[in-house]
Amino acid sequence: MGEFAASSMNKPSDANLPQLQSIPRYWAALGGVCLLLAVLSAYSNHFQNGFHFDDSHSVETNPYIRSLTNIPRFFTDARTFSSSPPNQNYRPLVSTSLALDYRMAGGLHPFWFHVSTFAWFLLQLALMFLLFRKILDIAHPAPANPLIALFMVAWYGLHPAMAETVNYIMQRGDVYSTLGVIGGLCLWALAPGSRRWGAYLVPVILGALSKPPALMFAPILFLYILLFELPEPTYTFRNLRTAALQSLPAWVFSLAYGIFHSAMTPKEVVWGGVPVPYRVTQPYVWLRYFLSFFYPNHLNADTDLQALKFDDPRLFAGIVFVIALLAVAWLTRQRRELRPISFGIAWFCLALLPTSLKPLAEVENDHRMFFPFVGLTLAVGWSVACLYRRSRVGIHAAAACGLVSLLLVPYAVATHERNEVWRSEASLWYDVTVKSPQNARGLMNYGLTRMAAGDYKSALDYFNRALVYAPAYMHLEVNLGIANGAINNDSEAEAHFRRALSLAPNEAIPYYYYARWLYSKQRTSEAISLLQRAIVLNNSDSLPRYLLMQIYSQQADYAQLAPLVEQTASLYPDDPGTLTYVNLLKSFQQRQAAAESLARTSPSPQNWLQLSLLYHQAGRYQDCIAAATEALKLKPDYADAYNNIAAGYQSLHQWDDAIRASQQALKLNPNLQIAKNNLAYSTWEKQRTQPTSSGH
């Protein structure tokens, strides 16, 4: 690239850099160490932060990440990404990393999850430095470039907007996909040998397996080749064709993976946005992101910004901003010295396209700034450097570094403070309620933290405030039911649970929480029915399964427990919760085998009766009757044996036989209450199910 850098049009004037020309080489290394310490210091308080928001369904209640044996399934079944069907995106590498962290942490301990994400973040910063320095050296060779690149990376690494991704465990996909793009571009630019066999695409493939925005690598690579690797003038047909041909493998991969990703994404996934209002709002969102780069005063885990109407002046402000931004990118492409600005702006825009064109539930989300800010950092940082050179202000290198460090201190402090906001669910959602007081989800989630603390009065207050802004919000109705149930306001609790079911009859969540409340009120049969429905609606959610297995085990209903345990074990075999019931079932089967052996080797009325009971619990009702009959052969007046026979016939819905056996048991023991219960139940069922005759 030397011939381009040495062109007379772009050669820098030494007079413009009187002091920075003498910077020793080791200063960049020293600056790198200082940057590492600064980033570690800024994030030192985030490693104990908890799980938040979508971490609940992708980490906390996702049983698939609890076993490394599920890793192959992550790449073939997107349903393993989350326990919530609307959120089951295809991001196998994210799930793999979560499973590895779960194993390393020995459970749901956030520390190791944060260490993992942060390590990759540091690697990204290192690669950004290498890439930025390469670009700067092509655009304007100068001894100061390493420090300028370091300044840019520091600005990015210490920026509080990055904390929105680094703290958000499930959104580590942004880190991986961004790292994939930067890694691929570094290999292309710094290791030309990687181009021949497409090795530069390996990081990009890994990034795409984490999150689809990594597919923006293709247009970013195209522009890099066009702006920094081809002869002047830049935008000729020949150069466009050359850049397109050289980047063709990346384009082919992006197209192929886009089709593959679409096929792998379940149809149940809900994106949530309304296309036209969502898309026309995005220019204004871009403007908000751009301003946040300089003054991040409205960072919010759950913004309440809504889609704009066509007569909203903010919509036109956004359009004007995007046009102006593209105009700056077009103008700065003309001079090689300014092309990092053009490239950085293009990166910013391209990185925002995936979330701007695909309508999502929220029109903006702060973690979406993570990828585009790489380009914006390059554009703004190099603009500052160019302005400095044009100003012809001489300043000693040490003084320059000190001034830059001072400029970054507020960002580092803001990042540290932002980590504190992400400390717990209470601190995070309280911040949301302050910044977005009309955000129903924020009010509800902060109310959940008050309920978790036992402050039900405050929780209900926040829930009812949220109800004003979202009167048809299923999750809110569920939580109103839970809170009212906790204070024994049963009529209100049941009304809210039923309202939740009416709002979302095809979602498992209201069925599970309503069932949990019913179970706490000893309305077990109703709870079982709702839990069975919840499992049908969401086969991936472990919570209804575990509660239903708990109920069956407490009832010693091994006939129902066995198939449920078998199915659950097939979904997540190594999950500790599943293994508990697998072992319980094995223990029962061993007791049954032992009872069979005992009844045959030491026949007695009691041994046959015990075997009869175990057969009934296992759902072997004919065997239950047969074993009880054997007990009667040894003890003809055994009332308990007749009762077991009644229970067996009852389970077979043979009501007449059940009634006769119950009556015989009561004839032998009039005080046998369980026989009374069986007689009453069988009589009632017979009357309910037998056809009625009508006269003429």
Tens digits of residue pLDDT in 6-37: 333 344 443 344 344 445 566 677 888 989 99
Per-residue pLDDT at 232 = 85
Average pLDDT value over all residues in the chain: 91
Q: Is residue 88 part of a domain?
A: yes
The answer on pLDDT for 511 being more than 50 is: yes
pLDDT at 695: 43
Q: Is 528 left (phi over 0), alpha (psi -120 to 50) or beta?
A: alpha
630-664 pLDDT, tens digit each: 999 999 999 999 999 999 999 999 999 999 999 99
State residue 394's pLDDT score: 59
> CA 36 to CA 121: how far, in whole Å?
11
Q: What is the dihedral of CA 296, 301, 302, 308, to 10 degrees?
A: 20
- Alpha carbon distance 1, 140 (integer Å): 11
For residue 190, is it within any domain?
yes
Indicate the pTM of the whole model.
Answer: 0.86
Are residues 224 and 373 located together in one domain of the fold?
Answer: yes
The reported pLDDT for the residue numbered 652 is: 92
112 and 172, same domain (yes or no): yes
pLDDT at 210 over 70: yes
Do residues 587 and 609 both lie within one domain? no
Sign of CA dihedral 377, 381, 383, 384: positive
The pLDDT of residue 439 is above 90:
yes
491 lies in a domain? Answer: no
Is residue 649 a contact partner of residue 625, using CB atoms and an 8 Å limit? yes
**Does residue 162 sit within a domain?**
yes
Domain end (from 572, 591, 610): 591
- Which pLDDT band, with edges at 50, 70 and 90, does 238 fall under? very high
**pLDDT cut 70: percent of the chain above it:** 94
For residue 143, what pLDDT is reported?
A: 84
Measured distance CA(679)–CA(646) in Å, rounded:
8
CA–CA distance, 646 with 665 (Å, rounded to integer)? 9
Q: How far apart are CA 121 and CA 47, in angstroms?
A: 13
Kindly state whether residues 571 and 654 are assigned to the same domain: no
- The predicted structure's pLDDT at residue 11: 41
The answer to whether the Cα torsion of 429, 430, 432, 433 is positive or negative is positive
The answer to whether residue 382 is domain-embedded is yes
pLDDT number for residue 572: 82
- pLDDT tens readout for residues 486-498: 999 999 999 999 9
Angstrom distance (rounded) from CA 117 to CA 115: 6
Reported confidence tier of residue 73, pLDDT bands at 50, 70, 90: very high
pLDDT at 17: 40
What's residue 16's pLDDT? Answer: 41
Please check whether residues 467 and 511 belong to one and the same domain.
no
Q: What is d(CA 430, CA 424) in angstroms, rounded to the nearest whole number?
A: 10
pLDDT of residue 50: 95
Say how far apart CA 73 and CA 59 lie, in whole Å.
Answer: 16
Question: Taking 70 as the threshold, does the pLDDT of residue 112 lie above it?
Answer: yes
* Structure confidence at residue 692 as a pLDDT band (50, 70, 90): low
Same domain, yes or no: 175 and 301: yes
| Cα–Cα distances in angstroms (integers) from residue 608 to residues 181, 599, 675, 678, in the given order | 71, 6, 18, 20
541: in domain: yes
Cα dihedral across residues 584, 588, 589, 594: positive or negative: positive
Is the residue at 58 inside a domain?
A: yes
In a domain, 427, yes or no: no
Query: What is the percent of the chain with per-residue pLDDT over 90, rounded to a whole number?
Result: 79
What range does the domain containing 226 cover? 2-420
Domain total in the chain: 4
Residues 202 and 135 reside in one and the same domain: yes
For range 415-425, the mean pLDDT: 97
**Do 461 and 548 sit in the same domain of this protein?**
no
Assign residue 481 the CATH number of its domain: 1.25.40.10
Q: How far apart are CA 159 and CA 117, in angstroms?
A: 16
Whether 530 and 650 share a structural domain: no
The answer on 569 and 472 residing in a single domain is no
Q: Are residues 477 and 580 in the same domain?
A: no
- Give the pLDDT of residue 402: 66
Q: At residue 543, does pLDDT exceed 60?
A: yes
**What number of other Cβ atoms are within 10 A of residue 16's Cβ?**
17
pLDDT at residue 398, rounded to an integer: 54
Average pLDDT for 106-134: 96
pLDDT of residue 31: 81
Is the same domain home to 333 and 446?
no
What pLDDT is recorded for position 552?
A: 94
Of 591, 611, 632, the domain-final residue: 591
